Amino acid sequence: MPFGRWARRAGRRAGVAAAGAAAAVCPIAAPLSSAAPKCPDIEVVFARGTDEPAGIGNVGKAFVDTLRPMVKGSTVDTYAVQYPASWDFMKAAAGATDMSKRIQATAARCPKTKIVMGGYSQGAAVVDVVATSPVAGLGYSAPLPAAVVPRVASVVVFGNPSARLGQPLTRMSPDFGARTADLCNTNDPICSLGQDWNAHITYPKSGLIKLAAQWVTRHVQPPPAPAARR
């Protein structure tokens, strides 16, 4: 074989070998996946009641399960407020801090998400702190900035201890009062002067869950477009 042809063939083989070695040393990087957050249309930030199971609790679950079919076409996510929900009621401040931090994080990360703040029993007291305390104190360390307040589309509380003292959240909070449904089951001794303790644990069976879901639906869905004039 003439030297020139042999040299060209050898050069091609060397080039292929070099390319293979380079690929082994420097593998082709896979395309990076998008790191954009997934933002729901609605996020329910809910604080469970005393001794309820971890998560959003039985009352919170009943509320969200009722809300979802009412807001057809909208995605609904939940966030369970992290706090003990124990008989040490001073720990409610820790729940308020966690709730406020979550609302602030969601507002920053998901500018189009409508936030719903909710709680049951001791969890309602957690909501009270967030909704009425513009400054830190007594274990509450993350007040909602004024700029974030409008991002909370609606508030629902069940069995709110403050209501028993004649201070429902609708009256206590100038910022959130008009957006709040403060609901008390008939004769519930936690939120009224009643004496029926069974009333405090039967919210999922009461009509108040549906009433709360209807209230929130009105606040998170855009109003219907006006009819065209003829």
* 86 is annotated as an active-site residue: no
pLDDT digits (tens, 9 = 90+) for 90-106: 999 999 999 999 999 99
- Within a domain: residue 226? no
- The length of the chain is 230
Tokens at 222, concatenated: 């855009």
Is there a domain that residue 96 lies in? yes
Distances (CA, A) of 55 to 3, 107, 154: 79, 21, 20
Which of 98, 154, 173, 200 does the annotation list as catalytic?
200
pLDDT in tens, 113-154: 999 999 999 999 999 999 999 999 889 999 999 999 999 999
Identify whether 72 is part of a domain: yes
Is residue 211 predicted with pLDDT exceeding 50? yes
Indicate the pLDDT class of residue 21, thresholds 50, 70 and 90: very low
Q: How far is CA 39 from its chain centroid?
A: 11
- Residue 216 in contact with residue 67, Cβ under 8 Å? yes
Q: Say whether pLDDT at 24 is over 50.
A: no
77: β partners: 43
Q: Which amino acid is at 213?
A: A
Q: Does the annotation mark 121 as catalytic?
A: yes
The string of pLDDT tens digits covering residues 147-196 is 999 999 999 999 999 999 999 999 999 999 999 999 999 999 999 999 99
Distance between CA 46 and CA 63 in Å, rounded?
10
User: Which run of H or of E encompasses 45?
Assistant: strand 42-47
**10 lies in a domain?**
no
pTM (2 decimals)? 0.82
Q: Domains in the chain: how many in total?
A: 1
Told to judge if 196 belongs to the known catalytic residues of this protein, a careful annotator would answer no
Cα 187 from chain centroid (whole Å):
30
Burial group, residue 115, by CB count within 10 angstroms (0-12, 13-18, 19+): buried
CATH at 66: 3.40.50.1820
Catalytic residue among 98, 128, 182, 188: 188
Encoded tokens for 199: 């009333």
Domain residue limits at 157: 42-219
Q: What are the pLDDT digits (tens) for 192-203? A: 999 999 999 999
Which position among 121, 154, 162, 173 bears the catalytic label?
121
The DSSP H or E segment spanning 98 is: helix 92-109
Residue 57 φ/ψ region, left for φ over 0, alpha for ψ in the -120 to 50 degree band, beta for the rest: left
Residue 226 confidence (pLDDT) above 80:
no
Q: What is the pLDDT of residue 210?
A: 98
Q: Is residue 121 part of a domain?
A: yes
d(CA 157, CA 121): 8
Q: Are strands 114-120 and 42-47 parallel, antiparallel or unpaired?
A: parallel
H-helix or E-strand containing 131?
helix 122-132
